[in-house]
Amino acid sequence: MEQKPAKKMFLQIVKQLRELIMEQRIQPGDKLPSERVLCERLNASRSSVREALRSLELLGLIESRHGGGTFLADVGGHQLVEILSSFILREEKSQKDVHATREMHEREAIRIICAEKELRNLPIWDSLFAQIELQQEVKRAAILRECVIAAGNRLSLKIWIQLHAYSMTSLKDRVTVSEKEALQILIKSMQMGYTEEAIEAYNEWIGQI
Amino acid sequence: MEQKPAKKMFLQIVKQLRELIMEQRIQPGDKLPSERVLCERLNASRSSVREALRSLELLGLIESRHGGGTFLADVGGHQLVEILSSFILREEKSQKDVHATREMHEREAIRIICAEKELRNLPIWDSLFAQIELQQEVKRAAILRECVIAAGNRLSLKIWIQLHAYSMTSLKDRVTVSEKEALQILIKSMQMGYTEEAIEAYNEWIGQI
DNA sequence: ATAGTGAACTGGTCAGACCACTTTTTGTGG
DNA sequence: CCACAAAAAGTGGTCTGACCAGTTCACTAT
């Protein structure tokens, strides 16, 4: 009859906190019930309540002021709560999000390359272009990796590697003939510093995959 | 003076935890010291240590198993973000990369919003615009967070939250008068769907910070 | 060598106690 | 009556200690 008590207390409290916020129409900036009151209402110890509150505070969803009280974060509480619940429930993000994020990093790398002369003039681009022209073994991942590496943001590179590892399943290795053109346009545009054209070529290329 | 922020204990512990992970080369999937051991080493009470650990657990960075121990989140499928964050945590040197990456996600969010009518027409933008106009308390983070949320990529949001959490130090809270204009242009451009203008306004705004 | 058992360890939860800070109330003096 | 300072109440921040409930692992007894 009762819900599963299996989950950890502080997660249940986070969930109940969200329900409480919605029920009582607590607006961003408003004060939340005090920790001690929440203990009573949620039938939990103060330690557990605090674990939940501190978690939400680290996420930036609430703000606690010593001696003052606990408040719902200033802006956009309702939207945040929705996001939050999805985190709690561990609803896993779609493959789409992973792809979109990876492509975001790739596009940004292309933009950076286009904007910097030293990067545009790297010999690697000619090399890649020639390999594509000759239909040699050119792996998509290699091309994109070169871009992200060239862009010089190591954090972005690390993120990209992880994202790529995760989304590799649906990617074929070799570059097909139909992709050849868009790919070469991409590289040439990059070398010329034509950001818009490069991005457009990239989008067209990605669209084929 | 020393940068002893005298901030909240559980935040200090979060910070110390990441230092500990870095020093001991703890890899994703590895076991962390037990809560009681951490109490001794970090010279804090178990309550505070647990508040920190539970926060990291809600973020998905660590995983606790009843009776088993606490582990640094492993590469299991979608949990990739956790690994990144552990990278982020240990790279003090590349603060610039963190900022650049965070800004990348913000720009992408702006682009997405500009491109989709439903997102442009969200009431939140008028609300933010009005608050800026009235010089109310508007936090930079709140504005950017709304953008990333609205863009709808939850993976990107999760990455952003973590990037923001660890680059917070250099960000002031309030929006200054000099930023007001660029910010309002950003919002208006977004609502109109003028991608280029919005990005330009964003860059100008960011440049001031 | 194996299966079984139990001690030792680990996280999960709770209760209560202080402290420091903020807000509210109260009581005084004008 | 009002203004203002002192006192009280309220609130988050931290710590201690305790007990429960799972997991691990070494050491039996077979």
Percent of chain B with pLDDT over 70: 76
User: Which position has the higher pLDDT, B23 or A81?
Assistant: B23
The verdict on residue B175 lying in a domain is yes
Q: Identify which of A14, A76, A100 has the shortest CB distance to residue B124.
A: A76
The verdict on residue B23 lying in a domain is yes
Residue written as tokens 């990067």?
A: A119
- B144 and B179 assigned to the same domain: yes
- B67 and B88 assigned to the same domain: no
Indicate which CATH number applies to the domain containing B102: 1.20.120
pLDDT above 60 (res A4): no
Q: Which of A25-34, A54-63, B103-112, B165-174 has the lowest mean pLDDT?
A: B165-174
Q: Does A54 contact B54 at a Cβ distance shorter than 8 Å?
A: yes
Confidence band of A80 (pLDDT split at 50, 70, 90): very low
- B131 and B193 assigned to the same domain: yes
| A43 token code pair | 């039938």
Instruction: Identify the domain boundary among A53, A72, A91.
Output: A72
User: Tens digits of per-residue pLDDT, B23-77?
Assistant: 888 877 889 999 999 999 999 999 999 999 998 887 777 889 999 999 987 543 3
Instruction: Identify the domain boundary among A20, A46, A72.
Output: A72
- B68 and B98 assigned to the same domain: no
Instruction: Identify the domain boundary among B72, B107, B127.
Output: B72
Backbone dihedral angles phi then psi of residue B62, each to the nearest 5 degrees: -130, 170
Question: For residue A198, which of A96, A122, A125, A138 has the smallest C-alpha distance?
Answer: A125
Nucleotide D24 C1' to residue A95 CA (A): 37
- B174 and B95 assigned to the same domain: yes
pLDDT above 90 (res B190): yes
Which amino acid is residue B193, in one-letter code? G
Residue written as tokens 């309540």?
A: A49
| B36 token code pair | 């009681």
The verdict on residue B150 lying in a domain is yes
Q: Does B11 contact A58 at a Cβ distance shorter than 8 Å?
A: yes
When pLDDT is averaged across residues B185-208 and rounded to a whole number, the result is 91
Query: Which domain, by its residues, includes B141?
Result: 80-208
Number of domains in chain A: 2
The verdict on residue B1 lying in a domain is no
Contacts of B98 in chain A (CB under 8 A): 155
pLDDT of residue A53: 93
Q: Identify which of A73, A155, A166 has the shortest CB distance to residue B94.
A: A155
- B118 and B203 assigned to the same domain: yes
The verdict on residue B135 lying in a domain is yes
Burial of A65 (0-12, 13-18, 19+ CB in 10 A): exposed
User: Tens digits of per-residue pLDDT, A95-132?
Assistant: 677 788 889 999 999 999 999 999 999 888 988 888 88
Tell me if residue A100 falls in helix, strand or coil: helix
Indicate which CATH number applies to the domain containing A16: 1.10.10.10
- B53 and B112 assigned to the same domain: no
Helix (H) or strand (E) holding A73: none
- A85 and A53 assigned to the same domain: no
- B15 and B118 assigned to the same domain: no
User: Tens digits of per-residue pLDDT, A139-198?
Assistant: 677 788 889 888 988 778 767 866 775 555 444 555 566 678 888 899 999 999 999 999
Tell me how far CA of residue A37 lies from CA of A14, A69, A77, A82, B51, in angstroms.
15, 12, 21, 24, 19
Which residues, other chains included, contact B172 with Cβ-Cβ below 8 Å and sequence gap of 6+? B140, B209
Nearest-neighbour CA in chain B from A180: distance (Å): 27
Strand D contact at CB of residue B47, distance < 7 A? yes
Contacts of A88 in chain B (CB under 8 A): 58
The verdict on residue A120 lying in a domain is yes
Measured distance CA(B68)–CA(B55) in Å, rounded = 19
- A58 and A100 assigned to the same domain: no
The verdict on residue A1 lying in a domain is no
The verdict on residue B68 lying in a domain is yes
User: Which position has the higher pLDDT, B171 or A139?
Assistant: A139
pLDDT of residue B72: 83
User: Which position has the higher pLDDT, B156 or A113?
Assistant: A113
- A67 and A158 assigned to the same domain: no
User: Tens digits of per-residue pLDDT, B77-113?
Assistant: 344 444 444 443 444 445 677 788 889 999 999 999 9
Q: Does A162 contact B83 at a Cβ distance shorter than 8 Å?
A: yes
Q: Which of A88-97, B5-14, B45-54, B131-140 has the lowest mean pLDDT?
A: A88-97
Burial of A40 (0-12, 13-18, 19+ CB in 10 A): exposed
Nucleotide C20 C1' to residue A45 CA (A): 22
pLDDT above 80 (res B148): yes
- B86 and B112 assigned to the same domain: yes
Nucleotide D28 C1' to residue A47 CA (A): 40
Nearest-neighbour CA in chain A from B35: distance (Å): 14
